[in-house]
Structure 1
Amino acid sequence: MKCAFVTGATGLLGNNTVHALVRRNIKVKALVRSIDKARKQFADMPVEYIQGDLQEVEKFSTELHGCDALLHTAAYFRDSYKGGKHWAALYNTNVVATEQLLAAAYAAGIRKAVHVSSIAVLQGAQGQLIDESMSRPEQGADDYYRSKILSEQVVQQFLQRHPDMTITMVLPGWMFGPGDIGPTSSGQFLLDFVQRKLPGVLPGTFSVVDARDVAEHLLAALERGRSGERYLAAGVHMDMGSIFQVLARVSGVAAPQRQVPLAILRMIAALYEVQHRLTGKPVLISSSTIKLMAGERERTHFSHEKSARELGCQFRPVEQTLADTLDWYRANDYLASAGHPVPAID
C-alpha cells in the first residue's frame, strides 16, 4: 500500500490512524472539514488535506483516485446524545454517506477498505462474553445504534454487488487517547474529572480502549482481515468506579466516592431536556444517555479471541492510555488554561 484515504482524519481515531500510516511511510489523503484544525492536529506531518463533508461525497470523490485503500473512521455520534432529535443527520452521515463513499472508492479503483463500526451493533445478556456473531436487532435500538446497524448492512449489500472488493469492519469500544483535539466525550470526561466537575460514581459499565490500539486494528484488518468480517477492538470491561481509581492514580486528583443513583440521573437529564427545548443549548447529560447506560450495564464484556487470532492485535494497559491522554492535554494547555493543572506522574 502506497496511499490511503482516511475519513474523519482530525477525529480521535482518525488522527491516530493517520499517525500510524505515516509511521509506515504510507502517503495519506486526509478528509477534513477544517483545514485549520488539520494543520493544528498534524503540524508538519506529510499529510495531504482534502477538505470536504461526508454528506457531499461527490465534491471530493475525484480525490480518491490514486489511493490503494480507504479507512472510513468518520461518523455522526456525539451530538446525538446532546438532546433533541438527530435521526436525519445520523442516517445521512452514517448510512447514506457510507454507501456513497464506498461507491466512489470503487469507481476510483480502490479495492480494499476498512469500515469503522461499533460495539453498538452487538448485544448480549448481562455478564455474557459477547463476540462478533451476536448481532443487535434493529428493533429497539436507539437512533445511533440503529444507524450503525444500518451502516453495516450497507457494507454487506455493497459486497454482494462487488465481490472483488475487500471490506472489513472494526468495532471499537469507548476510545481514549492522545490527540483528542475535540475533545470527544471521553476526553471531556477526563477533563471534567481533573477539574472535579463529576458529581459521583455513575452506575454504568464500559469497554475502554486506546485509540492508538484501534488504529493498529484498522491497519491489521486492512492487511490480514477477511472481507465482510467483523473484528472487535473494544478493550477492557470496567465499571465507573474502576475507571475513577485509575484516573486518580495517574492524575493525582482524588476520585469522587458518592454513588449517583439512576433515578437521580433521570431527574437531572429530564431537567436538561426541558432547558434544551427552551433555549436550544445542548444538554450535559440526556435522557437517551441515561437509558443507554442503564440498558448496557454489564453488557460490555467483549471477546477479542478472533481479533487476536486473525489480526494478531493486543491492547496496552488502561493506566498507560489514561496517563498518555492526560499528558497530551497537559502539553497542549487544555488543563492549565482551565485553571486546574495536573501534576506530573513519575
Structure 2
Amino acid sequence: MKVAVTGAAGFVGTNLVNQLVADGHDVVAIDRVEPRASRASSVTWLRADIFDADALTTAFDGVDTVYHLVAMITLKQQDELAWRINTEGVASTARAALAAGVRRFVHCSSIHSFDQYTDTGIVDETSARSQDAALPVYDRSKWAGEQELRAVIADGLDAVICNPTGVYGPVDHGLSRINGMLSDAARGRVPLFVDGTFDLVDVRDVALGLIAAGERGVTGENYLLGGAPVRLFDAMRRVAQLCGRPQPLLAIPLSVLKVVVPVIEPISHLFGSDLVSRASISALEAQPVVDITKAVTQLGYRPRTSEQTLADLVAFLSESGQIGSAKPTSGQRFSPVAPTSAAV
C-alpha cells in the first residue's frame, strides 16, 4: 500500500516511517529535509511545504493514507508561527488530501489539545478542550487545528485524530525535549531534577497507534495514545543507573520551583530556552490520569512499559554514540522496530 507521511524527518515521523517500511508499505516521506540515514528503497523523499497546496496534492496522488505529523512545539504563551503551522497547516494538508482523493487522513494532534489543568484529574476523549486564552499557544493551537480538520471532514474527508501524551524513546537522532534530559542523566550530568510526574508514551507505540487508527479508527473520532505515569526524577535515576553513571540526588519540589520561576523564566527566554516556564511547571503540576480505554478497545492499542522504553532508549543512545563511552549494564541491544507489536 502507498502511504504518505508529513514531517517524516522528525522524531515521530522517523519511527512511523520505520514501522510502515517494516509493514511492507511504500512511503512518500514529506519534509523540508531528508535524513542522511534514510536509504530504504521503499521510501520516496519529497521536499514540500505544507502550505503549498498544489505540491501536496501532487504528492498525495495514488496515496491510500496520509499521516499528518507536522507541528511546532513550544511552551511560549504566544507564537504566530506555531499558531499558523498547527492550525492553518492542518487545514492546508487536509484540503490537499481531500483533493487527491486519499482514503484516510490520520492527524497526529496532542494531549495538550485537552485542558489538563481545570478538569477532574482524569483526561479522556470527552474532557474539556484547550480554548482558554490563558493556556500556552501550543495547547490552544492543537485544539484549533483539530477544529480546522473537522471543517474538512464535514466536506467529505475521512479522517481520525490521535492525541499522544509526552513522547520519548528511540529512535531519536535529534533528541526531543524529554530524550534530551534523559540523555543528560545517562551521562551523569543531572545532580538534581524537578519532582513531577507526566504520562509518557514510547514513540514506537505512537507510530503503531497511528497506523491502527488509520486502519480501524472511526471517522471524526479522537484517540488518546498514552503510556504510563512516569516520575521524571525516577526516570533520570534509572537511565543513569543503566549507564553506570552518577544518579540525581535531589528532587526539587514543584512548590519551590514555582517560587523562582518568575525570576528564571525571563532569563531563560534571553537564552532562547522555554524549558523553565510557568507552562512547563503547570503541566507537571496537573499530573492528570490519561484514560486510554478507547484506543485499547477500538484500536487494539497496547503500550509497552516505561522500564522497557528506558532500557531501549539507553541501548539506542549508546549504540548511536550519543552518550559517550557508556555501556548499558542491562546488556540489551536496540532494534528500531519491536519484534512484537504494541498495537494489534
- How far residue 132 of structure 1 moved from its aligned partner, in angstroms, is 0.8
Structure 2 counterparts to residues 64-75 of structure 1, below 5 A: 64-75=60-71
Whichever residue aligns with residue 29 of structure 2, its letter is A
Q: Does the 8 A contact of 1:205 with 1:300 survive in 2?
A: no
Q: Does the 8 A contact of 1:12 with 1:179 survive in 2?
A: yes
* Counterpart position of 1:151: 145
* Counterpart position of 2:136: 142
* Counterpart position of 1:247: 239
What secondary structure does 2:251 align onto?
A: coil
Structure 1 window deviating more from structure 2 (199-208 vs 62-71): it is 199-208
* Counterpart position of 1:133: 126
Whichever residue aligns with residue 2 of structure 2, its letter is C
What secondary structure does 1:285 align onto?
A: coil
* Counterpart position of 1:17: 16
Q: Does the 8 A contact of 1:178 with 1:325 survive in 2?
A: yes
Deviation per residue, 1:235-291 (Å, 9 max, x gap)? 1012223323432443333431312244446636734633644xxx4126332xx43
Whichever residue aligns with residue 316 of structure 2, its letter is W
What secondary structure does 1:120 align onto?
A: helix
Question: Is residue 186 of structure 2 the alignment partner of residue 191 of structure 1?
Answer: no
* Counterpart position of 2:4: 5
- Partner residue of 2:159 out of 167, 179, 184: 167
Quickly say closer, same or farther: Cα 1:55–1:205, change in 2 above 3 A. farther
Q: Does the 8 A contact of 2:119 with 2:127 survive in 1?
A: no
Work out the CA distance in 1 between the residues paired with 2:41 and 2:306. Answer: 28
Work out the CA distance in 1 between the residues paired with 2:279 and 2:100. Answer: 42
Q: Does the 8 A contact of 1:7 with 1:14 survive in 2?
A: yes
Identical residues among aligned pairs (%): 27
Structure 1 window deviating more from structure 2 (127-136 vs 307-316): it is 127-136
Deviation per residue, 1:17-66 (Å, 9 max, x gap)? 1111111111000012212xx232x2345210011233444444311111
Whichever residue aligns with residue 219 of structure 2, its letter is S
What secondary structure does 1:14 align onto?
A: helix
Whichever residue aligns with residue 245 of structure 2, its letter is V
Structure 1 window deviating more from structure 2 (222-231 vs 258-267): it is 258-267
Work out the CA distance in 2 between the residues paired with 1:326 and 1:126. Answer: 35
Whichever residue aligns with residue 282 of structure 1, its letter is G
Whichever residue aligns with residue 221 of structure 1, its letter is A
- How far residue 75 of structure 1 moved from its aligned partner, in angstroms, is 0.7
* Equivalences, count: 328
- How far residue 197 of structure 1 moved from its aligned partner, in angstroms, is 3.0
* Counterpart position of 1:108: 100
Structure 1: 5+ residue runs without aligned partners? none
Quickly say closer, same or farther: Cα 1:245–1:300, change in 2 above 3 A. farther
Quickly say closer, same or farther: Cα 1:276–1:214, change in 2 above 3 A. closer
Q: Moved runs in structure 1, 4+ residues, more than 4 A?
A: 124-127
* Counterpart position of 2:328: 343
Question: Is residue 97 of structure 2 the alignment partner of residue 98 of structure 1?
Answer: no
* Counterpart position of 2:28: 29
Deviation per residue, 1:65-124 (Å, 9 max, x gap)? 1111100112101xx23x6x7521111111001101100111111130110111112235
What secondary structure does 2:208 align onto?
A: helix
More helix by share: 1
- How far residue 298 of structure 1 moved from its aligned partner, in angstroms, is 4.3
Structure 2: 5+ residue runs without aligned partners? 332-344
Quickly say closer, same or farther: Cα 1:226–1:61, change in 2 above 3 A. same
* Counterpart position of 1:305: 293
Work out the CA distance in 2 between the residues paired with 1:275 and 1:73. Answer: 28
* Counterpart position of 2:46: 50
Quickly say closer, same or farther: Cα 1:240–1:276, change in 2 above 3 A. closer
Work out the CA distance in 1 between the residues paired with 2:268 and 2:282. Answer: 23
Work out the CA distance in 2 between the residues paired with 1:128 and 1:268. Answer: 24
Q: CA RMSD in A?
A: 2.3
Question: Is residue 220 of structure 2 the alignment partner of residue 228 of structure 1?
Answer: yes
Q: Does the 8 A contact of 2:56 with 2:93 survive in 1?
A: no
Q: Does the 8 A contact of 2:103 with 2:158 survive in 1?
A: yes
Work out the CA distance in 2 between the residues paired with 1:276 and 1:131. Answer: 33
Structure 2 counterparts to residues 72-83 of structure 1, below 5 A: 72-77=68-73, 80-81=74-75
- Partner residue of 2:316 out of 328, 340, 344: 328
What secondary structure does 1:39 align onto?
A: coil
Work out the CA distance in 1 between the residues paired with 2:104 and 2:177. Answer: 30
